[in-house]
Amino acid sequence: MFLGFLTSPNITPSSLFVGSLVVTVVMSIWMLYAQHYRQLYLFKIDRLLDLELEMGAEQHRWFHRSEAARKHYPTIGIRGHDLDGIVYATISFGGPLLAAVGGKWSLLLGIPIALVPVVLIAVYRQERKTMRWLAEHRSVVG
**Does residue 48 contact residue 62 with C-beta atoms inside 8 Å?**
no
pLDDT average per 10 residues of sequence, the chain (142 residues): 69 85 95 95 85 76 64 78 94 89 88 96 95 80 47
**Does residue 116 contact residue 88 with C-beta atoms inside 8 Å?**
yes
5 inside domain: no
pLDDT at 128: 94
2 inside domain: no
110 inside domain: yes
Query: DSSP label at 141?
Result: -
6 inside domain: no
pLDDT at 140: 54
pLDDT at 127: 93
pLDDT at 19: 87
142 inside domain: no
139 vs 62: CA distance, rounded Å = 16
73 inside domain: yes
Q: Supply the range of the domain harboring residue 109.
A: 13-137
138 vs 95: CA distance, rounded Å = 43
Residue-wise DSSP of 49-85: HHHHHHHT--TTGGGS--TT-S------SS-HHHHHH
59 vs 75: CA distance, rounded Å = 15
Alpha carbon 126 to its chain centroid, in Å, reads 11
Q: How many domains does the chain have?
A: 1
pTM for the model: 0.80
104 vs 96: CA distance, rounded Å = 9
pLDDT at 66: 61
1 inside domain: no
**Does residue 56 contact residue 69 with C-beta atoms inside 8 Å?**
no
8 vs 98: CA distance, rounded Å = 10
50 inside domain: yes
